[in-house]
Amino acid sequence: MSPDGPLRCPRCRKVAVEAHAPFCSAACRDRDLLDWLEERYVIPGPPLEDSDAGPDGAAPPQ
């Protein structure tokens, strides 16, 4: 531990700025937050594809 060393951004290792500590910028902070959210809330499988009988589309003839 270096007590006087500058805080480094955990994403890009640049020197962090106080406004966005411990990150160097809002971009890195947002990026980290998004990664955290994706880890925590895992998306369950790929999105469903549109079926022929969509609720707001024309129903297929039968």
Binding span for Zn ion by CB under 5 A among 14-22, 31-39, 43-51, 52-60: 14-22
Q: Give the binding range for Zn ion (CB under 5 A) out of 16-24, 34-42, 44-52, 54-62.
A: 16-24
Q: Does 12 bind Zn ion (CB under 5 A)?
A: yes
Handedness of CA 54, 56, 61, 62 (dihedral sign): positive
Residue 15 binding Zn ion, by CB under 5 A: no
**Encoded tokens for 34:** 């998004």
φ/ψ region of 59 (left if φ > 0, alpha if ψ in -120 to 50, else beta) reads beta
Binding site for Zn ion (CB under 5 A): 9, 11-12, 14, 24, 28
